[in-house]
Amino acid sequence: MSLESILITLVAEAVKSLYGLETEENQIQLQKTKKEFEGDLTVVTFPFVKAARKSPEQVGQEIGEFLLKDTEVISKFNVVKGFLNLSISKSFWLETLTAIHSNTDFGITKAAEDAALMMIEYSSPNTNKPLHLGHIRNNLLGHSIAEIQKANGWKVIKTNIVNDRGIHICKSMLAWKKWGKDETPESSGLKGDHLVGKYYVIFDKHYKAEIKELMGKGLTEEEAKKSAPLILEAQKMLLAWENNDPEVRQLWKTMNGWVYAGFDKTYKQLGVSFDKIYYESETYLTGKSEVERGVKKGIFSARSDGSVWADLTGDGLDEKLLLRADGTSVYMTQDIGTAKLRYDDYPINKMVYVVGNEQNYHFQVLAILLDKLGYEWGKSLVHFSYGMVELPEGKMKSREGTVVDADDLMDEMIEAARETSQELGKLDNCTSEEIVTIVRMVGLGALKYFILKVDPRKNMTFNPKESIDFNGNTGPFIQYTHARIKSVLRKAAEQGIEYSSLNDNQPDISEKESYLIQLLTGFPAVVREAGEEFSPALIANYIYEVVKEYNQFYHDFPMLKEENPTLKQFRLVLSESIATVIKTGMGLLGIDVPERM
C-alpha cells in the first residue's frame, strides 16, 4: 500500500471521528508539500470546513493532532491557512528505501499468464520515400507506449502496417522506369528508401511541369491535375498492379525490397522493432471483400459509376468512399481488411493505433464502419492521436525540401555527441568500441528525450538551426547522472564498501534525502498513469525531476568521503536506487543509459 493511500485512509478516519463526516476517497486532497513550507505531504482542509463548522486552520490543527496520535508514520505537522502540512517520520522513509532497493523490478508489473493482450500499431510507413522526423516521433511514441503497457502488466504485440501498394508507389515506379536508367542502391550508393524517394520527387517534378503546361493551354488547375499524362499512366499502373500484371509486380517487388532494406537500417538505428508486420498488399483484398459483404448486407451502397460508399449521415458525418469507380481500394478499405485479419490472428483485447492527429476523422470513421460490419470491437479501438512535428516556419513539406530526414538527423546527433565528448575529454580512457557505443547512446538519447518529453497530444516545434541540447532538461543530462552514480558505486566496490542493504542503525537523514526517497516512491504511480494516459512525457518529466534533485544532493553531500559508515551506506543505497529508477524509466522511453560517459 502506498504512503498516499495509507494517509488518505487515516485522514478519512480522522474526519469521521472528529466531525462525523463520511468521505469518499477522492474527496481527500493529498498533495506534495510546496518547497517553501515544512513538511512532506499536505492535506487540503477546505472540503471539511463546512461539516466541521470551524475555520480551516482549526480543522487542520485538529486533524493534525488526531493523526499524530494515531500513527507512527507522521512525526510532526504544521498548519498554514487551509493546508495541513505533514512530516513523515525518518524511519518510515528508511523502511521505504529498503523496500525499493531490494525490488529490482520496482515500478514494473509483469504480465501474468492470462494477462490481456494489447496490440499496438505504429510506424506504418509508405514505401515511396524514406522516413522523416514525423515518423521518428511516431516510432518513438509507439515503442515507448509498448514498453509502458508491458510495464503495466499487458501482453503487448507491436505491429506495423506497411503501406506497400497504392498510387504513391506507382509514382516512384513509373519515374524510375522512365528516367532511372536501371539505377540500383548498389550502383548509386544510395540507401534503398532514399533511392526510391528520389524517384518520387522526380515524378512530382515532371508531373508539376505537365500541369503547368496544361494550364497554359487553358485548363483549370483541377482539370490539369486529373488529366496530366503522368498521373493517368500511374493510375494505369495501379490498375495493372491490382490485376497482377507480372512486369509491374516484378518492379514493385524489386523497389519495395530496396525500401525495406533501408527501413530496417533506420529502425535498427532508432532501436524500434515489431512482433508482426502486416502489408497492405496482403490485407486490401480482405478489405474489399468486407466492403462487398457490406454492400450485400445493405449497409454500404454502390453508385452507377461503380464506386462504393458508406452513408454516415446518420452518425453526424458525411458519406465515405470505400471503393473507387475503377474498383481499386482506398486507405479505408485496407484498414478494414487489416483490422479483420488482426482479430483473426490474435485474441486482441485492446487495439491501439499510433497515428497522427491529422487522421482523427479517419479513425472515427473506421470505428463506425467496423461497428456497422458487425464487429463488436470496432467501437473500442483506440486512436492514440499525437501531434505533428513542425518547423519554425510551419509544417514540413517534402515538395519544398524542408523535410528533416530521419537517417540524417540521427547521424547528426551522434556526431554532435562525439564532438561534445571529445571537447570535454570524457571518453579519453575508453576503447574505440566503447566510444562508438556511448556516443550513439548519448546522441540518440538526446533526440529521443527531446521528442518524448513533450506531451504527445500536442504539436511540437523542432528548429533544425538550433541543435538539440545536451545540457539542462535533456537525455544526456539524465544519462550523465546515471553514469556519475555508477562511477561512485564502482569506486565503492573497489574500496570494498558493503552497501547491499541498510543495516539496523538509523542514520539521521536530511530533508533532501528523505525528499529523494519520497520522489522514488512516486515511480510506480507515474508508470501507471503514463499507461492510462498513453503519455511517455509523464515518465520523462518525472525522471528529470528525480535527476535534478539528485544532482543537488550529489553536489552537497559526500558519499565515499562520508565518515559515518551508516550514513555512507545509506547514501550509496539511495544512489543505487536512483540509478535503477533512472535506468528503468529511461528504458520505458526506449533510451539506454551508459555506465560511464
Site for RNA in 324-343 (CB under 7 A): 324-326, 330-331, 334
Within residues 385-414, the interface with RNA by CB under 7 A covers: 388, 392, 394-395
Select the residue interacting with RNA from 17, 55, 188, 552 (CB under 7 A): 552
Of residues 126 and 584, the one with the C-beta less far from RNA: 126
The distance of closest approach from Cβ of residue 577 to RNA in the complex, given in angstroms and rounded to an integer, is 16
Within residues 67-106, the interface with RNA by CB under 7 A covers: 80-83, 85
Residue 381 and residue 348 in contact, taking contact as beta carbons nearer than 8 Å: no
Select the residue interacting with RNA from 14, 141, 354, 454 (CB under 7 A): 454
Q: Is 196 in the site for RNA (CB under 7 A)?
A: no
Q: Is 497 in the site for RNA (CB under 7 A)?
A: no
What residues contact 128, with CB distance under 8 A and at least 6 apart?
168, 169, 171, 172, 196, 197, 200, 259
Greatest C-alpha distance within the chain: 92
Within a 10 A sphere around the Cβ of 27, how many other Cβ atoms? 14
H or E element that contains 277: strand 276-279
Select the residue interacting with RNA from 18, 68, 117, 167 (CB under 7 A): 167
- Paired strand residues for 159: 121, 276
Q: Is 474 in the site for RNA (CB under 7 A)?
A: yes
Q: Is 274 in the site for RNA (CB under 7 A)?
A: no
With CB under 7 A, what is the number of residues at the site for RNA?
96
Residue 272 and residue 155 in contact, taking contact as beta carbons nearer than 8 Å: no
Of residues 117 and 317, the one with the C-beta less far from RNA: 317
Residue 148 and residue 530 in contact, taking contact as beta carbons nearer than 8 Å: yes
The distance of closest approach from Cβ of residue 431 to RNA in the complex, given in angstroms and rounded to an integer, is 15
Within residues 1-40, the interface with RNA by CB under 7 A covers: 26, 29-34, 36-37, 39
Within residues 113-142, the interface with RNA by CB under 7 A covers: 126
Within residues 519-538, the interface with RNA by CB under 7 A covers: 537-538
Q: Is 566 in the site for RNA (CB under 7 A)?
A: no
Q: Is 420 in the site for RNA (CB under 7 A)?
A: yes
Q: Is 265 in the site for RNA (CB under 7 A)?
A: no
Q: Is 208 in the site for RNA (CB under 7 A)?
A: no
Read off the C-alpha cell for 588: 520505458
Select the residue interacting with RNA from 75, 89, 349, 473 (CB under 7 A): 473
Q: Is 487 in the site for RNA (CB under 7 A)?
A: yes
The distance of closest approach from Cβ of residue 515 to RNA in the complex, given in angstroms and rounded to an integer, is 13
Within a 10 A sphere around the Cβ of 408, how many other Cβ atoms? 15
Read off the C-alpha cell for 180: 532511372
Residue 193 and residue 258 in contact, taking contact as beta carbons nearer than 8 Å: yes
Q: Is 461 in the site for RNA (CB under 7 A)?
A: yes
d(CA 382, CA 210): 42
Of residues 118 and 539, the one with the C-beta less far from RNA: 539
Counting other chains too, the contacts that 253-256 makes at CB distance below 8 Å and 24 or more residues apart are 255/127, 255/169, 255/172, 255/173, 255/176, 255/196, 256/127, 256/164, 256/169
